[in-house]
Structure 1
Amino acid sequence: MSRTTFTLDDLKRILLEGSGVPEGADLRADILDTDFTDIGYDSLALLETASRVEREYGIELDETVLGDATTPRAFVDAVGAHLSAQPV
């Protein structure tokens, strides 16, 4: 199912579904500009997250998204850019 918006809440839900909550992490805190590694998510968790986003939102993320999107804000922005570039 293709959707047109992607929010921090969407990202948190997908992270929880795919990887759970890392020990000591608080996803209710202001994490927008916190590096994923500081939250407790490694590259495998982000690969799983990206894969789930692609399936759920019907998009294909560039490989550079995972390298460049080191914070939730950057990831949400990158997914949003892909969604807005899709033909309606």
Structure 2
Amino acid sequence: MATGSWFLYLLECSGGSYYAGITTDVQARFQAHATGKGARYTRAHPPLRVLGFREYADRAAASRAEWQLKRQPRGRKLAWLEHGGQ
């Protein structure tokens, strides 16, 4: 992972739900979620694994992509992430 880059990531959580977020370090953020130090949603629905992530040049671009990803139907979220929102 490149230094200074931002990442949009998608987690699979308990119960089969998905959680999307942005970070500069996907593994560290996953560990925070897994230990109950992440988002409120992942404290109630512990993450099982990282399904995927995509790199962006800056926080603004990652935030826009996160907003777009969260608007996708559940069945299209992983494909959307893997294909760069296309």
Return the TM-score normalized by structure 1.
0.31
More strand by share: 2
Higher-helix-fraction structure: 1
Higher RCO by CA contacts (8 Å cutoff, separation 6 or greater)? 1
With the length of structure 2 as denominator, give the TM-score of the two structures: 0.32
